[in-house]
Structure 1
Amino acid sequence: MATTFPEPKWAVPGLLAEGVNLLAGPPKVGKSWLSLGLGLAVASGGKAFEAIDVAPGPVLYLALEDTPRRLQSRMRKMLAGRPAPAALTLSTYCPTLTDGGDEAIGRWLERHPDARMVVIDVFAKVRGKAPVGLSAYDADYTAMSRVKHLADAYGVAIVLVHHVRKMASEDFLNTVSGTNGIAGAADATLVLSRARGTADGMLQITGRDVDEAEYALSFQPACGAWHLLDGPPEDHTLTETRAAIVRYVRANPGSNPKSIADGTGLSYDNVRKTCPRMAADGQLLADAAGRYRTPDSDRTETVPAVPAVPDHPLTCENATDRQGHPSLPGVTAVPVQHNAADGPGIPPTKQAPGPHPTQEVHPS
């Protein structure tokens, strides 16, 4: 018990710690925009979700479902004329884990000892074939264990972009595609889902080093960015009437429909009918006298505290790579270059047989 262990290294404080982080969501919900945005924020030392300060460090982003043209389009939109961060490495190809992919990623991590994050979009592209004779659960767990070994050996956050089942579930963990061997082997699971109201998405998270939490997000199509919305997530997923009632009751617990109507400007008849429905839906709590309060009225915090991040400054250790030495054998590079006239671009390349070096992403 006397042994002191270091705190986990955070890629995004309060959200992504070192280890295997599973990011799941339905098709076309915006998982790739979200994961690329996180990669850009960490590589540049900016703000994740335009709200959370992150320490800078090298990031490897494997866009395995993208073509160079599509990746070029994403980067142009997200960078908006700014140079690509020098610490970002992009690739559209990686061998499967069972065919040397884990070793290739490991060699990149050895060349970048201060790496903060690796994103694999999507996990299905690299997991490879399962050993013959394994059950579905054991096959899922074995594939995840290969990634877990990398994350633990190098102390880095690895984000696996994954899919969810079509069947809905009250427990968001049960929506993750595959057996329980997928979510069970992950250190943290994040599920991005579509939302109603003023939010475009809900991000639910649970894990070994993170508190279970839920965040409301908005998506900005013009720049391809996900933004964290202020306040409790339920405020952004309700109708305007219900959201106004919740905000007033949270600030004025014990209010009756008359005072709520006066305080919000809503009609008394509307409030009188809506409050009991909200209580039935669990959005309000009512006492015998018909006074209302919010379920979170007894809590002192509505958003989990964000732990501090140790200071890990980015160092210039990539001199060998910049001289042309391959940093990730077996991976086809997608270098991003900045041009003041037309923004960052990815020159078209043809994949030739044999191993390909990965080039660092540097502003020109």
Structure 2
Amino acid sequence: MSQKLETKTTTELLSTVYAPNEMLVDGLIPQGICILAGPQKVGKSFLALDISISVASGQPVLGRETAQGECLYLALEDTYRRLQGRLLKMDVEASDTLHFALASDKIGGGLESQIEDFSTEHPNLRLVVIDVFQLARKNAKASYSAEYSELAGLRDLANNLGICIMLVMHMRKSRDRDPLNNIYGGGGFVASADALLLLTEERRGSGSGTLMCTGREIESIEIAVRFDKEAMRWCAIGATDENSNGENKTLAAVYIYIRKKKHFEGSATELIEELKSVTSDVFYPNRITRDLLEQGHQLVYYGILFAVKRNHQGRIIILHYIKDDNKDEATVTRALLAR
């Protein structure tokens, strides 16, 4: 005997307050199923890892705020040695909120239970990344209905747990004018997703490209991105991250500090501790390193030399004040904030 339909009237809908679908990354990644797709070797894993690192630490990514929480990264085609190498290249701070696994059960064959069990052990879980999705599939049937049904359990699980499950997928080479049609599969995956992020390069190896974003819960936008080989991260061109008003608090704080100190040589974490003597602004190691790498050349106009070197402990920041004229500190600080 079939169940009776449960219905709501327009009056009930319009008089009910529903909690909004929480965004993991502001305007880009909502709760539910998110597909991150791109051609092979374009750098999808670096972007997925950067998103995971940023969510686990509560730091901005691609110039957007994140909802801090624990992350589970299923690196199904990696080794721990390779993961360690990536993390070292990205100069990541050690954290107990980002977890990795190299193997898992298949979708529909135990993976859902594994994620649910992990969530029980880690109640603050916010993000699960499956990289790559193809290796977690139990049945590789390429039909719309089969693909849609395949993700139904994962989508229900994500909504029940209040998390995002990100599926890293490949894109086929095609001249189709709609890039969504280039995602491997029969269209069922695209229809199932709450958000889709498509990463493409202008030309292979150029490090410049576009992140196309669309879905049920987000506005359709295209973000110009470039790959920062020093930070080993995709960066949104023109993004201001935590300084949404365009102010560069990093350069201003560094100027005030180094004019008094004259010389600094140490890690980003050590520099942040020193900056506490001149400002109450909060800085993060990855963010301050990125700011200096991208815009530190501007400091030379104010008599500060900036360089980066590496030793056995990691990346070392060097700042040296070479000019001690009578420039008004407040005037220079305002100029740097506006840059």
Shorter-chain TM-score bucket reads: 0.5 to 0.7
Between the aligned partners of 1:230 and 1:53, the Cα distance in structure 2 is 15
Given the two structures, how large is their TM-score scaled by the length of structure 1?
0.60
Residue 212 of structure 2: aligned partner: 204
The partner residue of 1:76 within 54, 65, 88 is: 88
The code of the aligned residue for 1:45 comes to G
Following superposition, the deviation at residue 342 of structure 1 comes to 4.8
Residue 14 of structure 1: aligned partner: 27
Residue 110 of structure 2: aligned partner: 100
The code of the aligned residue for 1:69 comes to R
The code of the aligned residue for 1:64 comes to L
Between the aligned partners of 2:218 and 2:47, the Cα distance in structure 1 is 19
Residue 228 of structure 2: aligned partner: 220
Aligned pair in 2 of structure 1 residues 342, 101: CA closer, same or farther (>3 Å)?
A: farther
Residue 146 of structure 1: aligned partner: 153
Conserved? CA contact 1:64–1:122, under 8 Å: yes
Deviations 1:192-215 (CA, angstroms, capped at 9, x unpaired): 111269961200011111000000
| % identity of equivalent residues | 37
Alignment of 1:1-364 (within 5 A): 1=13, 2-49=15-62, 51-78=63-90, 80=91, 82-129=92-139, 136-195=143-202, 200-230=208-238, 342=313
Between the aligned partners of 1:229 and 1:83, the Cα distance in structure 2 is 24
Between the aligned partners of 1:103 and 1:95, the Cα distance in structure 2 is 9
Following superposition, the deviation at residue 115 of structure 1 comes to 1.7
Following superposition, the deviation at residue 135 of structure 1 comes to 7.1
Between the aligned partners of 1:25 and 1:10, the Cα distance in structure 2 is 22
Between the aligned partners of 2:42 and 2:223, the Cα distance in structure 1 is 15
Conserved? CA contact 2:39–2:200, under 8 Å: yes
Q: Give SS of 1:6's match.
A: coil
The code of the aligned residue for 2:18 comes to F
Conserved? CA contact 2:24–2:126, under 8 Å: yes
Residue 7 of structure 2: aligned partner: none
Q: Give SS of 2:33's match.
A: strand
Following superposition, the deviation at residue 102 of structure 1 comes to 1.2
Runs of 4+ in 1 over 4 A off after TM superposition: 196-199, 340-343
Query: Which structure shows the higher helix fraction?
Result: 2
Residue 299 of structure 2: aligned partner: none
Unaligned ranges ≥5, structure 1:
232-339, 344-364
Q: Give SS of 2:231's match.
A: coil
Q: Give SS of 1:153's match.
A: helix
Conserved? CA contact 2:142–2:186, under 8 Å: no
Q: Give SS of 1:38's match.
A: helix
Between the aligned partners of 2:50 and 2:237, the Cα distance in structure 1 is 16
Q: Give SS of 2:125's match.
A: coil
Aligned pair in 2 of structure 1 residues 109, 168: CA closer, same or farther (>3 Å)?
A: farther
Coordinate RMSD, CA, aligned: 2.1
Conserved? CA contact 1:188–1:210, under 8 Å: yes
Q: Give SS of 1:142's match.
A: helix
Stretch deviating more after TM superposition (160-169 or 21-30) = 160-169
Stretch deviating more after TM superposition (148-157 or 191-200) = 191-200
Query: Which structure shows the higher strand fraction?
Result: 2
Conserved? CA contact 1:48–1:54, under 8 Å: yes
